[in-house]
Amino acid sequence: MSEYAIEINNITKRYHLYDKPTDRFKEALSIKKKKYHKVFEALNDVSFNVKKGEMLGIIGTNGAGKSTMLKIITGVLTPTSGEVKIEGKISALLELGAGFNPEFSGIENVYLNGSMIGFTREEMDEKIDDIVRFADIGDFIYQPVKTYSSGMFARLAFAVAINVEPDILIVDEALSVGDVFFQAKCYKKLEDIRNSGKTVLFVTHDMGSMMKYCNRAIILHHGVKIAEGDPSDMVDVYKKILVGQYDVGEEKESEDGVEKVSNRNRGDSKKDKKKNNKKDGQNEHQLKDYMLINPNFEEYGDKRAEIYDFGIMNGLDEVTNTVNKLEEFQVVMKIKFNETIENPIFAFSIKDIKGTELTGTNTIIERVDTGVVNAGETVTIKFRQKMRLQGGQYLLLLGCTGYERDELVVYNRLYDICLITVISDKTTVGYFDMDTKVDFQHD
């Protein structure tokens, strides 16, 4: 008997992409076997093993091949080449509720999903009470799932997948369903499964959870496994990938002469980012070259003063989009003044992805006298503080304004200019962490 629950050997998955539907028929009928397609490699010669009882994390940007790999492991997709060996029953949280019949009641769908995994009705009879209790949707469990809210639907789907006691549990970005209390219950159940010796494959963008729960992690990038090791080390590599500071080498040339489409082509390379972000008369190597910029940010103002560079610096003075919770970090802005301005105001704020402004400050609030800045001068301002926001993703807003004849004038504002990812291995209730210290003793 193998020590591995999952063995992935040289898996490659290719797709043929056609510009037009008719190109598929042209290629099929071509006497000279002319190729009308481009080859997209979702995965390229990926190999790794997962030991029984191990919790392995998979990290990667969007389009890295994570979901494709999970679908191959669960049998939803067939690889172009390579071999997958699985030992044990798999329960997968890929798309919550996949396989549910909307006309069936919640109870009926529980049994249906159990049979799809491979359990008999008698085995599901033993699990049904735990599933119903975990889902906690009341009498709706006896109603057709088409009448469920999206929240109830997700709770039931999660309860089924995580309570059938599989040998292998696969979780793909599915632990954010329901309210904070249900999420806490989900994480507690996940920890119980890990401690019981089950095998878990965990895919998430929550780096704090990755470091807290996983024994080991691998990184997929453009369909290739580029690193494997301790989760904290892999998170450091992933941070560099996010801001284009990690050199993963060039893609392989096509072996058959057919043009290949790479995920690399979906965004600017590090070199291109520098070129595109360069301002006339400014240093080529700017802070923002190493930031993950929002392509849909909004900018306005009369540009008498202009924010030409900016960045976030962590406690190690590294430019990054990623900050550990309770770590000291800096928001840095560099502004070029095209006219002489008295007492300019510099500001930043952070909001969540729903648009709620969570925190921020400016030089007036902080009682900083900025004086007079002459035309042609540049200034650098640094806001230093401790990160108290919960683990998650946020957006940064930057501004340079001023008062002229008691009226606020906007010189330059950058809305939602870049992403801030907060990494945390502890989540408290609400938006921020008060860094509570607990004293406990027996009287």
Are both 316 and 259 inside the same structural domain? Answer: no
What one-letter code names the amino acid at 122? Answer: E
Axis crossing angle, helix 121-135 with helix 150-163, rounded to the nearest 10: 130
> Which of these, 387, 383, 385, lies nearest to 326 by C-alpha position?
387
Are both 223 and 341 inside the same structural domain? Answer: no
> Token match 């240093």: residue?
283
Report the CATH number at residue 233: 3.40.50.300
Per DSSP bridges, beta strands 199-203 and 55-59 are: parallel
Are both 393 and 325 inside the same structural domain? Answer: yes
Question: Given this model, what pLDDT does residue 299 score?
Answer: 93
Q: From CA 121, how far away is CA 111, in angstroms rounded?
A: 7
Domain termination site, one of 245, 267, 289:
267
Domain termination site, one of 215, 232, 267:
267
32 or 80, greater pLDDT: 80
Q: Write the pLDDT tens digit of every residue in 8-48.
A: 999 999 998 888 888 887 888 878 788 888 889 999 999 99
The pLDDT of 231-246, averaged and rounded, is 79
> Token match 């209790």: residue?
133
Domain termination site, one of 267, 298, 316:
267
- On whether the CB atoms of residues 218 and 57 are closer than 8 A, the answer is yes
Instruction: Flag whether 141 is in a domain.
Output: no
Question: Given this model, what pLDDT does residue 98 score?
Answer: 61
Question: Given this model, what pLDDT does residue 248 score?
Answer: 56
Q: How far is CA 303 from CA 296, 299, 339, 411, in A?
A: 19, 10, 9, 5
Q: Write the pLDDT tens digit of every residue in 256-306.
A: 444 444 444 434 444 444 444 444 444 467 999 989 898 889 999 999 999
Q: Write the pLDDT tens digit of every residue in 86-121.
A: 998 888 776 655 668 889 999 998 998 888 777 888
End-to-end Cα distance, the chain: 53
Question: What domain range is 391 assigned to?
Answer: 270-423
403 or 272, greater pLDDT: 403
Instruction: Flag whether 131 is in a domain.
Output: no
Instruction: Flag whether 127 is in a domain.
Output: no
20-24, 264-268, 331-335, 337-341: range with lowest mean pLDDT = 264-268
Are both 73 and 46 inside the same structural domain? Answer: yes
- On whether the CB atoms of residues 72 and 11 are closer than 8 A, the answer is yes
Residue 322 — left, alpha, or beta (φ > 0 → left; ψ -120 to 50 → alpha)? beta
3-state secondary structure the chain: CCCEEEEEEEEEEEEEEECCHHHHHHHHHCCCCCCCEEEEEEEEEEEEEEECCCEEEEECCCCCCHHHHHHHHCCCCCCCEEEEEECCCEEEECCCCCCCCCCCEHHHHHHHHHHHHCCCHHHHHHHHHHHHHHHCCHHHHHCEHHHCCHHHHHHHHHHHHHHCCCCEEEEECCCCCCCHHHHHHHHHHHHHHHHCCCEEEEECCCHHHHHHHCCEEEEEECCEEEEEECHHHHHHHHHHHHCCCCCCCCCCCCCCCCCEECHHHHCCCHHHHHHHHCCCCCCCCCHHHHCCECCCCEEECCCCEEEEEEEEECCCCCECCEEECCCEEEEEEEEEECCCEECCEEEEEEEECCCCEEEEEECCCCCCCCCEECCCCEEEEEEEEECCECCEEEEEEEEEEEEECCEEEEEEEEEEEEEEEEECCCCCCCCECCCCCCCCCCC
Q: Is the pLDDT of residue 340 over 70?
A: yes
Question: Given this model, what pLDDT does residue 95 score?
Answer: 62
Are both 386 and 333 inside the same structural domain? Answer: yes
Percent of the chain with pLDDT over 70: 87
Instruction: Flag whether 395 is in a domain.
Output: yes
Report the CATH number at residue 298: 2.70.50.60
Q: Write the pLDDT tens digit of every residue in 144-188.
A: 988 988 778 878 888 887 777 788 988 876 665 566 667 777 777
Are both 298 and 395 inside the same structural domain? Answer: yes
Are both 296 and 241 inside the same structural domain? Answer: no
In our burial notation (b when 16+ CB lie closer than 10 A, e otherwise), range 177-193 reads bbeeebeebbeebbeeb
Q: How confident is the model at residue 251 (pLDDT cuts 50, 70, 90)?
A: very low
Question: Given this model, what pLDDT does residue 44 score?
Answer: 93
Phi, psi angles (nearest 5°) of residue 256: -105, 5
Q: From CA 112, how far away is CA 119, in angstroms rounded?
A: 10
243 or 331, greater pLDDT: 331
Question: Given this model, what pLDDT does residue 93 score?
Answer: 72
The total number of residues written for the chain in this structure? 443
Are both 363 and 339 inside the same structural domain? Answer: yes
Instruction: Flag whether 429 is in a domain.
Output: no
Are both 419 and 278 inside the same structural domain? Answer: yes
- On whether the CB atoms of residues 84 and 8 are closer than 8 A, the answer is yes
Are both 251 and 327 inside the same structural domain? Answer: no
Structure tokens at 357: 């402004």
Are both 263 and 346 inside the same structural domain? Answer: no
The pLDDT of 352-358, averaged and rounded, is 84
Instruction: Flag whether 116 is in a domain.
Output: no
399 or 32, greater pLDDT: 399
Instruction: Flag whether 368 is in a domain.
Output: yes
Phi, psi angles (nearest 5°) of residue 12: -130, 135
Instruction: Flag whether 223 is in a domain.
Output: yes
Q: Is the pLDDT of residue 250 over 60?
A: no
> Token match 């960045």: residue?
311
What one-letter code names the amino acid at 429? Answer: V
> Which of these, 70, 60, 64, lies nearest to 6 by C-alpha position?
70
Question: Given this model, what pLDDT does residue 335 score?
Answer: 97
324 or 263, greater pLDDT: 324
Q: From CA 130, how far away is CA 103, in angstroms rounded?
A: 23
Are both 255 and 287 inside the same structural domain? Answer: no
Question: Given this model, what pLDDT does residue 283 score?
Answer: 47
Question: Given this model, what pLDDT does residue 268 score?
Answer: 42
Counted domains in the chain? 2
Q: Write the pLDDT tens digit of every residue in 374-389.
A: 999 999 999 999 999 9
Question: Given this model, what pLDDT does residue 108 score?
Answer: 92
